């Protein structure tokens, strides 16, 4: 891995752990084992590096979701696999947590990839639900866009509940709840 990638990965980890304000260029450089000159050789500044880090987190999140959502099985089986996949629940979602960061939300450039990621995730879930509806697995009247938004909201809320409790069980309970609702369709 090159210095640029190490800087991006270090920024990703620190943004996830500390947020934008708590992520200093010095901390990024120290974690990456890179010098100041190296950072500014690859990036115009902290914002430029943070943007690259958010985009990489977004790519990984969407790739992980796609791995389950494109796998064989019914729509409900694929969504279940996505919801039940292994996650670092107590750390929260690396993208969803950024919506709680006032500096990210206040900056349209930094907020854009967060919004785009959550939108793409809702769209992909809606497509899988459409497949299930078209196959007769789900009701013909199902509003798949609304259900996809609900699934994403439950996931993000599950992270919040788990972090507040300091244990993963509230996340697991939220996932079980949305899957029970999906099973009733």
d(CA 117, CA 95): 8
Q: What is the model's pLDDT at position 36? A: 78
Neighbours of 138 (CB within 10 A): 20
Q: What is the pLDDT along the chain (185 residues), one digit of tens a residue?
A: 568 999 999 999 999 888 898 898 999 999 998 887 888 888 988 999 999 999 999 999 999 999 999 999 999 999 999 999 999 999 999 999 999 999 999 999 999 999 999 999 999 999 999 999 999 999 999 999 999 999 999 999 999 999 999 999 999 999 999 999 888 76
């Amino acid at each position: 891995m090159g210095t640029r990638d190490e800087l991006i990965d270090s920024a990703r980890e620190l943004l996830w752990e500390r947020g934008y304000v708590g992520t200093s260029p010095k901390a990024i450089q120290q974690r990456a084992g890179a010098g100041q000159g190296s950072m500014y050789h690859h990036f115009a500044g902290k914002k430029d590096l943070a943007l690259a880090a958010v985009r990489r987190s977004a790519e990984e999140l969407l790739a992980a979701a796609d791995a389950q959502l494109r796998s064989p099985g019914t729509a409900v089986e694929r969504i279940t696999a996505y919801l039940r996949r292994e996650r670092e629940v107590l750390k929260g979602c690396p993208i969803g947590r950024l919506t709680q960061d006032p500096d990210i939300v206040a900056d349209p450039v930094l907020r854009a990839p967060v919004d785009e990621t959550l939108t793409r995730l809702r769209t992909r879930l809606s497509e899988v639900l459409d497949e299930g509806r078209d196959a007769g697995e789900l009701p013909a009247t199902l509003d798949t866009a609304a259900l996809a938004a609900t699934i994403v909201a439950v996931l993000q809320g599950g992270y919040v509940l788990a972090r507040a409790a300091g244990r993963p069980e509230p996340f697991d309970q939220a996932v079980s709840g949305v899957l029970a609702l999906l099973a009733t369709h």
